[in-house]
Structure 1
Amino acid sequence: MIEMQNVVKKYSNGTTAVRDLSVTIAAGEFVYVVGPSGSGKSTFVKLMYREEKATAGKKLEVAKHDLLKIKNRDVPYLRRDVGVVFQDFKLLPKKTVYENVAYAMEVIGKKPREIQKRVMEVLDLVGLKHKVRVFPDQLSGGEEQRVSIARAIVNTPKVLIADEPTGNLDPDTSMEIMKLLDRINGQGTTVVMATHNKTIVDSIRHRVLEIDNGLIVRDEAEGEYELDD
Protein backbone atom coordinates (compact mmCIF):
# COMPACT_ATOMS: atom_id res chain seq x y z
CA MET A 1 0.00 0.00 0.00
CA ILE A 2 2.89 2.37 0.84
CA GLU A 3 6.45 1.88 -0.40
CA MET A 4 9.43 4.18 -0.06
CA GLN A 5 12.95 3.45 -1.30
CA ASN A 6 15.88 5.78 -0.55
CA VAL A 7 13.59 8.80 -0.18
CA VAL A 8 15.19 12.17 0.64
CA LYS A 9 13.51 15.47 1.54
CA LYS A 10 15.71 18.53 1.75
CA TYR A 11 14.19 21.95 2.40
CA SER A 12 15.34 25.16 0.73
CA ASN A 13 16.95 26.33 3.99
CA GLY A 14 19.36 23.38 3.76
CA THR A 15 17.65 21.19 6.38
CA THR A 16 17.44 17.54 5.41
CA ALA A 17 14.27 16.29 7.14
CA VAL A 18 14.23 12.78 5.64
CA ARG A 19 17.40 11.03 4.52
CA ASP A 20 17.66 7.80 2.49
CA LEU A 21 14.43 6.48 4.00
CA SER A 22 13.07 3.07 2.94
CA VAL A 23 9.93 1.39 4.31
CA THR A 24 7.03 -0.79 3.21
CA ILE A 25 3.58 -0.66 4.80
CA ALA A 26 1.16 -3.37 3.73
CA ALA A 27 -2.55 -2.95 3.03
CA GLY A 28 -4.58 -3.10 6.25
CA GLU A 29 -1.71 -2.33 8.63
CA PHE A 30 -1.92 0.15 11.51
CA VAL A 31 1.42 1.90 12.00
CA TYR A 32 2.47 4.43 14.63
CA VAL A 33 5.19 6.92 13.66
CA VAL A 34 7.05 8.23 16.71
CA GLY A 35 10.09 10.43 17.24
CA PRO A 36 11.23 13.59 19.02
CA SER A 37 10.23 17.03 17.76
CA GLY A 38 12.24 17.89 14.66
CA SER A 39 13.01 14.22 13.94
CA GLY A 40 11.36 14.27 10.50
CA LYS A 41 8.19 12.32 11.32
CA SER A 42 5.81 15.07 10.19
CA THR A 43 7.70 15.40 6.90
CA PHE A 44 7.56 11.61 6.54
CA VAL A 45 3.75 11.55 6.78
CA LYS A 46 3.33 14.70 4.64
CA LEU A 47 5.24 12.98 1.84
CA MET A 48 2.53 10.28 1.80
CA TYR A 49 -0.27 12.67 0.85
CA ARG A 50 1.93 14.98 -1.24
CA GLU A 51 1.79 17.94 1.13
CA GLU A 52 5.57 17.80 0.65
CA LYS A 53 7.46 16.71 -2.47
CA ALA A 54 10.40 14.34 -2.16
CA THR A 55 13.73 15.83 -3.25
CA ALA A 56 15.02 12.44 -4.41
CA GLY A 57 14.29 8.75 -4.17
CA LYS A 58 14.09 5.46 -6.08
CA LYS A 59 10.43 4.88 -5.19
CA LEU A 60 7.59 6.65 -3.37
CA GLU A 61 4.30 4.92 -4.02
CA VAL A 62 1.05 5.29 -2.06
CA ALA A 63 -2.12 3.40 -3.01
CA LYS A 64 -0.61 2.78 -6.49
CA HIS A 65 0.08 6.50 -7.06
CA ASP A 66 3.69 7.28 -8.03
CA LEU A 67 4.44 10.37 -5.93
CA LEU A 68 7.84 10.93 -7.54
CA LYS A 69 6.18 11.52 -10.91
CA ILE A 70 2.68 12.73 -10.02
CA LYS A 71 1.63 16.04 -11.59
CA ASN A 72 -0.01 18.75 -9.49
CA ARG A 73 -3.28 18.38 -11.40
CA ASP A 74 -3.42 14.69 -10.41
CA VAL A 75 -2.95 15.27 -6.65
CA PRO A 76 -6.77 15.49 -6.08
CA TYR A 77 -7.03 11.90 -7.38
CA LEU A 78 -4.42 10.82 -4.82
CA ARG A 79 -6.43 12.55 -2.07
CA ARG A 80 -9.46 10.38 -2.93
CA ASP A 81 -7.40 7.35 -1.94
CA VAL A 82 -5.64 9.00 1.03
CA GLY A 83 -7.67 10.60 3.83
CA VAL A 84 -5.94 12.94 6.30
CA VAL A 85 -6.80 13.81 9.91
CA PHE A 86 -5.03 16.77 11.53
CA GLN A 87 -4.29 17.79 15.12
CA ASP A 88 -6.23 21.06 14.72
CA PHE A 89 -9.26 19.47 12.94
CA LYS A 90 -9.33 22.01 10.02
CA LEU A 91 -13.14 22.12 9.90
CA LEU A 92 -14.97 24.83 7.96
CA PRO A 93 -16.46 27.07 10.71
CA LYS A 94 -19.47 28.31 8.74
CA LYS A 95 -20.59 24.84 7.66
CA THR A 96 -22.57 22.38 9.79
CA VAL A 97 -21.27 18.94 10.74
CA TYR A 98 -23.20 17.46 7.80
CA GLU A 99 -21.92 20.11 5.37
CA ASN A 100 -18.30 19.68 6.49
CA VAL A 101 -18.40 15.96 5.71
CA ALA A 102 -20.52 16.30 2.56
CA TYR A 103 -18.11 18.89 1.15
CA ALA A 104 -15.44 16.21 0.64
CA MET A 105 -17.83 14.35 -1.65
CA GLU A 106 -19.20 17.44 -3.39
CA VAL A 107 -15.76 18.54 -4.59
CA ILE A 108 -15.30 15.27 -6.47
CA GLY A 109 -18.73 15.50 -8.09
CA LYS A 110 -20.75 12.84 -6.26
CA LYS A 111 -24.55 12.89 -6.67
CA PRO A 112 -26.67 14.43 -3.86
CA ARG A 113 -28.48 11.17 -3.06
CA GLU A 114 -25.19 9.26 -2.81
CA ILE A 115 -23.73 12.05 -0.65
CA GLN A 116 -26.63 12.00 1.79
CA LYS A 117 -26.50 8.21 2.23
CA ARG A 118 -22.74 8.04 2.72
CA VAL A 119 -22.48 11.10 5.00
CA MET A 120 -25.11 9.66 7.34
CA GLU A 121 -23.28 6.30 7.33
CA VAL A 122 -19.97 7.82 8.43
CA LEU A 123 -21.59 10.15 10.98
CA ASP A 124 -23.26 7.08 12.46
CA LEU A 125 -19.87 5.31 12.56
CA VAL A 126 -18.27 8.20 14.47
CA GLY A 127 -21.29 8.59 16.77
CA LEU A 128 -22.44 12.02 15.58
CA LYS A 129 -25.57 11.28 13.59
CA HIS A 130 -27.53 13.40 16.09
CA LYS A 131 -25.32 16.47 15.47
CA VAL A 132 -25.82 16.95 11.72
CA ARG A 133 -27.10 20.55 11.99
CA VAL A 134 -24.58 21.69 14.62
CA PHE A 135 -21.68 24.04 13.79
CA PRO A 136 -18.05 23.30 14.80
CA ASP A 137 -17.95 25.98 17.53
CA GLN A 138 -20.80 24.15 19.28
CA LEU A 139 -18.81 20.91 19.52
CA SER A 140 -16.25 19.62 22.02
CA GLY A 141 -12.70 18.99 20.80
CA GLY A 142 -13.35 15.25 20.67
CA GLU A 143 -16.49 15.77 18.61
CA GLU A 144 -14.62 18.08 16.23
CA GLN A 145 -11.97 15.41 15.72
CA ARG A 146 -14.65 12.80 15.04
CA VAL A 147 -16.14 15.08 12.36
CA SER A 148 -12.63 15.46 10.92
CA ILE A 149 -12.28 11.66 10.82
CA ALA A 150 -15.72 11.29 9.18
CA ARG A 151 -14.69 13.78 6.50
CA ALA A 152 -11.39 11.93 5.95
CA ILE A 153 -13.07 8.55 5.41
CA VAL A 154 -16.28 9.60 3.61
CA ASN A 155 -14.77 8.83 0.18
CA THR A 156 -13.64 5.39 1.41
CA PRO A 157 -9.88 5.99 1.14
CA LYS A 158 -7.44 3.10 1.06
CA VAL A 159 -5.07 4.92 3.44
CA LEU A 160 -5.83 7.16 6.43
CA ILE A 161 -3.01 9.45 7.60
CA ALA A 162 -3.50 10.80 11.13
CA ASP A 163 -1.00 13.53 12.06
CA GLU A 164 -1.07 13.91 15.88
CA PRO A 165 -4.86 13.33 15.96
CA THR A 166 -5.01 13.30 19.77
CA GLY A 167 -2.57 16.17 20.32
CA ASN A 168 -5.25 18.66 21.45
CA LEU A 169 -7.42 16.21 23.38
CA ASP A 170 -7.64 15.01 26.98
CA PRO A 171 -6.66 11.37 27.78
CA ASP A 172 -10.21 9.93 27.85
CA THR A 173 -11.18 11.61 24.58
CA SER A 174 -7.87 10.54 23.03
CA MET A 175 -8.69 6.92 23.86
CA GLU A 176 -12.15 7.28 22.25
CA ILE A 177 -10.52 8.61 19.07
CA MET A 178 -8.06 5.71 19.08
CA LYS A 179 -10.85 3.16 19.39
CA LEU A 180 -12.54 4.81 16.41
CA LEU A 181 -9.33 4.68 14.34
CA ASP A 182 -8.94 1.02 15.32
CA ARG A 183 -12.50 0.32 14.13
CA ILE A 184 -11.77 2.01 10.78
CA ASN A 185 -8.57 -0.04 10.47
CA GLY A 186 -10.59 -3.18 11.26
CA GLN A 187 -12.73 -2.44 8.20
CA GLY A 188 -9.62 -2.71 6.01
CA THR A 189 -8.26 0.86 5.85
CA THR A 190 -4.49 1.22 6.22
CA VAL A 191 -3.79 3.68 9.06
CA VAL A 192 -0.54 5.61 9.59
CA MET A 193 -0.55 7.75 12.73
CA ALA A 194 2.17 10.19 13.81
CA THR A 195 1.97 10.63 17.58
CA HIS A 196 3.68 11.76 20.79
CA ASN A 197 1.14 9.88 22.91
CA LYS A 198 3.07 7.24 24.87
CA THR A 199 -0.02 5.97 26.72
CA ILE A 200 -1.87 5.16 23.50
CA VAL A 201 1.11 3.52 21.79
CA ASP A 202 1.84 1.38 24.85
CA SER A 203 -1.78 0.36 25.53
CA ILE A 204 -3.11 -0.19 21.98
CA ARG A 205 -0.30 -2.11 20.33
CA HIS A 206 0.52 -1.80 16.66
CA ARG A 207 3.65 -1.64 14.53
CA VAL A 208 5.94 1.24 15.57
CA LEU A 209 8.29 3.18 13.28
CA GLU A 210 10.64 5.42 15.21
CA ILE A 211 12.24 8.26 13.25
CA ASP A 212 15.24 10.23 14.46
CA ASN A 213 17.29 12.71 12.44
CA GLY A 214 15.37 11.78 9.29
CA LEU A 215 16.10 8.06 9.56
CA ILE A 216 14.02 5.08 10.69
CA VAL A 217 15.93 3.89 13.76
CA ARG A 218 13.39 1.29 14.88
CA ASP A 219 10.69 -0.77 13.13
CA GLU A 220 8.94 -3.05 15.59
CA ALA A 221 5.75 -5.12 15.37
CA GLU A 222 3.46 -4.38 18.33
CA GLY A 223 6.16 -2.11 19.74
CA GLU A 224 6.18 0.30 22.67
CA TYR A 225 6.76 4.04 22.57
CA GLU A 226 10.20 3.74 24.25
CA LEU A 227 11.71 7.15 23.40
CA ASP A 228 14.50 8.32 25.70
CA ASP A 229 13.27 11.04 28.02
Structure 2
Amino acid sequence: MNNINVHIGKEEFVYVVGPSGAGKTTFIKLIIRELKPSEGSIHVNGTNLGDLTEKEIPYLRRKIGVVFQDFKLFPKMSVYENIAFALEVIEAPANRIKERVMEVLDIVHLKDKARFYPSELSGGEMQRIAIARAIVNHPAILIADEPTGNLDPETAWSIMGILEEINNRGTTVVMATHNSHIVNNLRKRVIAIDDGRVVRDEWRGAYGYEA
Protein backbone atom coordinates (compact mmCIF):
# COMPACT_ATOMS: atom_id res chain seq x y z
CA MET A 1 0.00 0.00 0.00
CA ASN A 2 1.25 3.48 -0.85
CA ASN A 3 0.73 7.04 0.36
CA ILE A 4 -2.31 6.31 2.51
CA ASN A 5 -3.39 8.98 4.97
CA VAL A 6 -6.70 8.09 6.63
CA HIS A 7 -8.24 9.03 9.96
CA ILE A 8 -11.22 7.07 11.28
CA GLY A 9 -12.87 8.73 14.24
CA LYS A 10 -14.49 7.27 17.32
CA GLU A 11 -17.92 5.70 16.73
CA GLU A 12 -17.72 5.98 12.94
CA PHE A 13 -19.10 3.33 10.60
CA VAL A 14 -16.85 2.98 7.54
CA TYR A 15 -17.05 0.76 4.47
CA VAL A 16 -13.76 -0.21 2.82
CA VAL A 17 -14.44 -1.07 -0.82
CA GLY A 18 -12.48 -1.86 -3.96
CA PRO A 19 -11.88 -4.61 -6.51
CA SER A 20 -10.37 -7.96 -5.53
CA GLY A 21 -6.67 -7.62 -4.84
CA ALA A 22 -6.92 -3.85 -4.36
CA GLY A 23 -5.58 -3.90 -0.80
CA LYS A 24 -8.65 -4.10 1.45
CA THR A 25 -7.41 -7.13 3.37
CA THR A 26 -3.96 -5.58 3.72
CA PHE A 27 -5.61 -2.45 5.12
CA ILE A 28 -7.34 -4.55 7.77
CA LYS A 29 -4.23 -6.57 8.59
CA LEU A 30 -2.32 -3.35 9.19
CA ILE A 31 -4.95 -2.15 11.69
CA ILE A 32 -4.72 -5.34 13.75
CA ARG A 33 -0.90 -5.48 13.43
CA GLU A 34 -0.96 -8.72 11.48
CA LEU A 35 1.23 -6.78 9.08
CA LYS A 36 3.70 -4.01 9.89
CA PRO A 37 4.12 -1.03 7.54
CA SER A 38 7.51 -0.68 5.89
CA GLU A 39 7.28 3.07 6.41
CA GLY A 40 4.97 5.59 8.01
CA SER A 41 2.92 4.92 11.13
CA ILE A 42 -0.44 3.52 12.19
CA HIS A 43 -2.11 4.64 15.40
CA VAL A 44 -5.01 2.77 17.02
CA ASN A 45 -6.57 4.20 20.17
CA GLY A 46 -3.52 6.43 20.58
CA THR A 47 -1.04 3.56 20.27
CA ASN A 48 1.62 3.58 17.57
CA LEU A 49 1.43 0.02 16.28
CA GLY A 50 4.99 0.17 15.03
CA ASP A 51 6.22 0.52 18.61
CA LEU A 52 4.53 -2.65 19.84
CA THR A 53 6.58 -5.68 20.79
CA GLU A 54 5.34 -9.15 19.81
CA LYS A 55 4.21 -9.70 23.41
CA GLU A 56 2.12 -6.52 23.34
CA ILE A 57 0.20 -7.35 20.14
CA PRO A 58 -2.34 -9.66 21.87
CA TYR A 59 -3.24 -6.83 24.25
CA LEU A 60 -3.91 -4.55 21.28
CA ARG A 61 -6.20 -7.17 19.76
CA ARG A 62 -8.26 -7.35 22.91
CA LYS A 63 -9.42 -3.84 22.05
CA ILE A 64 -10.28 -4.78 18.46
CA GLY A 65 -13.00 -7.25 17.57
CA VAL A 66 -12.65 -9.03 14.22
CA VAL A 67 -15.36 -10.82 12.24
CA PHE A 68 -14.49 -12.91 9.18
CA GLN A 69 -16.48 -14.08 6.18
CA ASP A 70 -15.98 -17.75 7.15
CA PHE A 71 -16.96 -17.29 10.83
CA LYS A 72 -13.93 -19.12 12.35
CA LEU A 73 -15.95 -20.73 15.13
CA PHE A 74 -14.57 -23.69 17.08
CA PRO A 75 -16.65 -26.65 15.82
CA LYS A 76 -16.33 -28.76 18.99
CA MET A 77 -17.38 -25.91 21.28
CA SER A 78 -20.95 -24.85 21.95
CA VAL A 79 -22.13 -21.34 21.11
CA TYR A 80 -21.69 -20.38 24.76
CA GLU A 81 -18.19 -21.87 24.90
CA ASN A 82 -17.13 -20.17 21.65
CA ILE A 83 -17.99 -16.78 23.08
CA ALA A 84 -16.79 -17.49 26.62
CA PHE A 85 -13.37 -18.52 25.30
CA ALA A 86 -12.54 -14.89 24.44
CA LEU A 87 -13.08 -13.98 28.11
CA GLU A 88 -11.38 -17.04 29.54
CA VAL A 89 -8.09 -16.20 27.81
CA ILE A 90 -7.98 -12.89 29.68
CA GLU A 91 -8.90 -14.68 32.94
CA ALA A 92 -12.20 -12.89 33.48
CA PRO A 93 -14.13 -14.03 36.59
CA ALA A 94 -16.49 -16.94 35.95
CA ASN A 95 -19.59 -15.01 37.06
CA ARG A 96 -18.68 -12.13 34.76
CA ILE A 97 -18.14 -14.52 31.84
CA LYS A 98 -21.64 -15.99 32.17
CA GLU A 99 -23.23 -12.55 32.51
CA ARG A 100 -21.40 -11.05 29.54
CA VAL A 101 -21.90 -14.04 27.22
CA MET A 102 -25.65 -13.84 27.75
CA GLU A 103 -25.54 -10.07 27.21
CA VAL A 104 -23.93 -10.38 23.78
CA LEU A 105 -26.17 -13.30 22.82
CA ASP A 106 -29.08 -10.99 23.54
CA ILE A 107 -27.57 -8.29 21.30
CA VAL A 108 -27.38 -10.74 18.38
CA HIS A 109 -30.80 -12.23 19.23
CA LEU A 110 -29.59 -15.79 19.86
CA LYS A 111 -29.94 -16.36 23.59
CA ASP A 112 -31.91 -19.52 22.84
CA LYS A 113 -28.95 -21.03 20.96
CA ALA A 114 -26.40 -20.93 23.78
CA ARG A 115 -26.07 -24.73 24.03
CA PHE A 116 -26.10 -25.39 20.28
CA TYR A 117 -22.99 -26.28 18.29
CA PRO A 118 -21.90 -24.50 15.08
CA SER A 119 -22.96 -27.48 12.94
CA GLU A 120 -26.52 -26.99 14.20
CA LEU A 121 -26.69 -23.34 13.10
CA SER A 122 -27.46 -21.62 9.81
CA GLY A 123 -24.82 -19.45 8.14
CA GLY A 124 -26.52 -16.31 9.40
CA GLU A 125 -26.63 -17.66 12.94
CA MET A 126 -22.95 -18.58 12.82
CA GLN A 127 -22.10 -15.07 11.67
CA ARG A 128 -24.11 -13.59 14.53
CA ILE A 129 -22.23 -15.80 16.99
CA ALA A 130 -18.95 -14.67 15.43
CA ILE A 131 -20.05 -11.07 15.98
CA ALA A 132 -21.03 -11.81 19.57
CA ARG A 133 -17.58 -13.29 20.23
CA ALA A 134 -15.92 -10.28 18.60
CA ILE A 135 -17.69 -7.78 20.87
CA VAL A 136 -17.66 -9.73 24.13
CA ASN A 137 -14.55 -7.87 25.36
CA HIS A 138 -16.15 -4.44 24.75
CA PRO A 139 -13.75 -3.57 21.90
CA ALA A 140 -13.42 0.05 20.86
CA ILE A 141 -13.25 -1.08 17.21
CA LEU A 142 -15.00 -3.86 15.31
CA ILE A 143 -13.37 -4.97 12.05
CA ALA A 144 -15.71 -6.89 9.74
CA ASP A 145 -14.03 -8.52 6.74
CA GLU A 146 -16.74 -9.40 4.19
CA PRO A 147 -19.22 -10.32 6.97
CA THR A 148 -22.10 -10.81 4.51
CA GLY A 149 -20.10 -12.51 1.76
CA ASN A 150 -21.44 -16.03 2.36
CA LEU A 151 -25.00 -15.03 3.21
CA ASP A 152 -28.25 -14.69 1.29
CA PRO A 153 -29.58 -11.10 0.90
CA GLU A 154 -32.19 -11.31 3.67
CA THR A 155 -29.70 -12.71 6.16
CA ALA A 156 -27.10 -10.15 5.09
CA TRP A 157 -29.49 -7.34 5.97
CA SER A 158 -30.13 -8.85 9.40
CA ILE A 159 -26.36 -8.88 10.01
CA MET A 160 -26.17 -5.22 8.96
CA GLY A 161 -28.87 -4.38 11.47
CA ILE A 162 -26.77 -5.94 14.23
CA LEU A 163 -23.64 -4.10 13.10
CA GLU A 164 -25.56 -0.83 13.11
CA GLU A 165 -26.82 -1.53 16.63
CA ILE A 166 -23.27 -2.23 17.81
CA ASN A 167 -22.12 1.01 16.19
CA ASN A 168 -24.97 2.90 17.89
CA ARG A 169 -23.75 1.53 21.22
CA GLY A 170 -20.44 3.36 20.67
CA THR A 171 -18.19 0.89 18.83
CA THR A 172 -16.33 2.04 15.73
CA VAL A 173 -17.11 -0.30 12.82
CA VAL A 174 -14.80 -0.79 9.82
CA MET A 175 -16.33 -3.12 7.25
CA ALA A 176 -14.59 -4.40 4.11
CA THR A 177 -17.22 -5.42 1.57
CA HIS A 178 -18.06 -6.19 -2.05
CA ASN A 179 -21.78 -5.83 -1.37
CA SER A 180 -22.75 -2.86 -3.52
CA HIS A 181 -26.44 -3.15 -2.61
CA ILE A 182 -25.74 -2.69 1.09
CA VAL A 183 -23.27 0.16 0.55
CA ASN A 184 -25.61 2.01 -1.82
CA ASN A 185 -28.68 1.61 0.37
CA LEU A 186 -27.19 1.92 3.85
CA ARG A 187 -25.11 5.03 3.28
CA LYS A 188 -22.04 5.43 5.46
CA ARG A 189 -18.55 6.74 4.92
CA VAL A 190 -16.84 4.92 2.02
CA ILE A 191 -13.08 4.49 1.70
CA ALA A 192 -12.28 3.09 -1.75
CA ILE A 193 -8.94 1.35 -2.26
CA ASP A 194 -7.50 0.52 -5.66
CA ASP A 195 -4.00 -0.74 -6.42
CA GLY A 196 -2.93 -0.16 -2.83
CA ARG A 197 -4.04 3.48 -2.73
CA VAL A 198 -7.01 5.32 -1.33
CA VAL A 199 -8.74 6.67 -4.43
CA ARG A 200 -11.90 7.94 -2.77
CA ASP A 201 -13.02 8.89 0.75
CA GLU A 202 -16.63 10.07 0.89
CA TRP A 203 -19.20 10.65 3.60
CA ARG A 204 -22.44 8.79 2.78
CA GLY A 205 -20.69 7.51 -0.32
CA ALA A 206 -21.75 4.96 -2.92
CA TYR A 207 -20.03 1.69 -3.80
CA GLY A 208 -18.74 3.03 -7.10
CA TYR A 209 -17.81 -0.26 -8.78
CA GLU A 210 -19.68 -2.69 -11.00
CA ALA A 211 -21.63 -5.15 -8.90
* TM-score (norm. length: structure 1): 0.91
Counterparts of 1:106 and 1:152 in 2: how far apart (Å)? 14
Matched, 1:115 2:93: no
Deviations 1:99-158 (A, max 9, x none): 000000000110100000000000011011000100001000000000000000000000
SS of corresponding position for 1:72: coil
The one-letter code of the counterpart of 2:169 is Q
Counterparts of 1:65 and 1:159 in 2: how far apart (Å)? 13
1:138 maps to 120
Counterparts of 2:44 and 2:163 in 1: how far apart (Å)? 19
Matched, 1:208 2:194: no
Matched, 1:195 2:177: yes
Q: Which ranges in structure 1 are unaligned for 5 or more consecutive residues?
A: 1-17
1:62 maps to 44
SS of corresponding position for 2:198: strand
Q: How many percent of aligned residue pairs carry the same amino acid?
A: 57
2:133 maps to 151
Deviations 1:76-114 (A, max 9, x none): 111111000000000000000000000000001101000
The one-letter code of the counterpart of 2:196 is G
Counterparts of 1:176 and 1:20 in 2: how far apart (Å)? 36
2:168 maps to 186
1:37 maps to 20
Counterparts of 1:120 and 1:49 in 2: how far apart (Å)? 27
Higher strand share: 1
Counterparts of 1:182 and 1:46 in 2: how far apart (Å)? 23
Counterparts of 1:80 and 1:129 in 2: how far apart (Å)? 23
2:54 maps to 72
1:51 maps to 34
Q: Which ranges in structure 2 are unaligned for 5 or more consecutive residues?
A: none
**Residues 87 and 166 in structure 1, CA contact (< 8 A), matched pair in contact too:** yes
Q: Report the Cα offset of residue 228 of structure 1.
A: 4.6
The one-letter code of the counterpart of 2:9 is A
Deviations 1:36-93 (A, max 9, x none): 0010111001111112221211x20112221111111011111111000000000000
SS of corresponding position for 2:60: helix
**Residues 86 and 162 in structure 1, CA contact (< 8 A), matched pair in contact too:** yes
The one-letter code of the counterpart of 1:178 is M
Once superposed, what is the RMSD of the aligned Cα atoms?
0.8
**Following superposition, which runs of at least 4 residues in structure 1 exceed 4 angstroms of deviation?**
none
The one-letter code of the counterpart of 2:52 is I
Looking at both structures, which has the greater relative contact order when contacts are Cα pairs under 8 Å and sequence separation is at least 6? Answer: 2
**Residues 63 and 159 in structure 1, CA contact (< 8 A), matched pair in contact too:** no
* TM-score (norm. length: structure 2): 0.98
* Equivalences, count: 211
1:168 maps to 150
In the TM superposition, 1:68-107 aligns within 5 A as: 68-107=50-89
Counterparts of 1:209 and 1:97 in 2: how far apart (Å)? 34
1:219 maps to 201
